[in-house]
Structure 1
Amino acid sequence: MDSLTWNIKSKGPYELKLPKSKTTEKFYISALKLTDIPQIASLLGPTNINSIDIHKNLSMLPNPYTLSDAEYFVNKCITDYTKSLQCNVWAIRNSNEELIGCIGLHKFKGKYFVDEQDKKLFNDDGYEIGYYISLEYRSLGIVSSAVNFVCDEIAFKELHLDYIYGNAFMDNENSQNVLKRCGFKFVKSLKNALEKDGEKRDVYWSIKERPIQ
């Protein structure tokens, strides 16, 4: 992959700035590569009990998650990189370069089932940020650091986006707290906005705007 994507913008690796009081280990984000496939399958697969929480809080992940799902995801990301010459999904990596999570900027595409009044608040050309991390690496500030970097250094400075959506299920307080710490402002609760495992769930909708220069 590296020989094919040397000219991809924003592929990293980028070292994350973590609170020193939390850990002395270094963490990074960088473009996905084919060798990440077994790591993703292991992290999200049904034999990993830590994946239960990730699946509960992400609407789009297949469940159960298989090796084929990981292969499709990584290959699609690499295809998107090479078509756009821009990295939009990154692996979160530990100091051993092992994948421990993912973060990405995704086209909004009006996927939320909102009423006509709510639809006026959304811009289908907008982007939202999504992320997950292994349970054993939480509460270290890794995700907050990754969200801040992707928003401030890539979305606003590199892509010149005016704003980014941040969304989480209403019962996912951890993700909501990440968004708050990263400067996202709560807009409203979207009732029955997403369906997960046959159940309509409310969504916490927030937005972060590019700082005025």
Structure 2
Amino acid sequence: MIFHLETERLILRELRITDLEGIFELDSNPEVHKYLGNKTINTKQDAEKIIAFIINQYKENGIGRFAVIEKSTGNFIGWSGLKLNKGTKESLNGFQDFIDIGYRFIPRYWKKGYALESAIACLEYGFKTMNLDIIYGAAETENIGSNKILQKIGLQFVNEFEEDNKQVNWYELKKANYGK
């Protein structure tokens, strides 16, 4: 899958094996995984598996998370995008076979507005290019930053649920309400 989307400061593109160092830096960092079940990776082989999994999502589902590249430096700074969660293995809050929006960045790129900027672009892509009817989002209740981003891009709070002994907020945005 070839994918290319640009914002003012970012390039979003398909994840590649050349992003190995960036994925390892991202997913081996306990700070990044604080609200993600504290499931960091330990080896570059683990990072390779993540990349292979996402590349397989592109092939099977036509969508997956995308590498985010900072235009000014060319650096891999994290990922953002839409994902098809399918089957009971990936069910969440009683839902399965749904598209969610997500983002994850290396800490030195936090608090620069990159998550919001990339999420806005991905939401637009989902509704205007992919013609999706609804996009969901979830964030642990304690993850204030992620909850704020989901709200800023227009997702509406639906309910709170428990996942892995953590409270999680569930959001949705229907295409009919997009941009309102």
Question: Shared fold (TM-score greater than 0.5)?
Answer: yes
**In structure 2, what is the equivalent of residue 20 of structure 1?**
none
Percentage of pairs with the same residue: 26
Pairing 1:88–2:64 present: yes
TM (norm. structure 1) is: 0.73
Indicate which of 125, 147, 159 corresponds to 1:188.
159
Cα separation, partners in 2 of 1:206 and 1:79, compared to 1, 3 Å:
closer
| Distance of 1:108 and 1:79 partners within structure 2 | 13
**In structure 2, what is the equivalent of residue 106 of structure 1?**
83
| Distance of 2:174 and 2:116 partners within structure 1 | 17
**In structure 2, what is the equivalent of residue 66 of structure 1?**
43
Q: Aligned residue pairs: how many? A: 174
Please tell me the residue identity of whatever aligns with 1:88: G
- Backbone CA RMSD of aligned residues: 2.1
Larger Rg: 1
Cα separation, partners in 2 of 1:212 and 1:181, compared to 1, 3 Å:
closer
Deviations 1:77-112 (Å, cap 9, x if unpaired)?
22333445x342201111233211111322234523
TM (norm. structure 2) is: 0.85
Q: Which structure is higher in strand share?
A: 2
**In structure 1, what is the equivalent of residue 99 of structure 2?**
127
Cα separation, partners in 2 of 1:158 and 1:101, compared to 1, 3 Å:
same
Please tell me the residue identity of whatever aligns with 1:58: L
Runs (5+) with no aligned partner, structure 1: 18-25, 46-50
**In structure 2, what is the equivalent of residue 54 of structure 1?**
32
Please tell me the residue identity of whatever aligns with 2:21: P
Deviations 1:171-201 (Å, cap 9, x if unpaired)?
10100000011001111111xx211xxxx00
| Distance of 2:44 and 2:63 partners within structure 1 | 23
Runs (5+) with no aligned partner, structure 2: none
Indicate which of 12, 32, 48 corresponds to 2:15.
32
Pairing 1:206–2:177 present: no
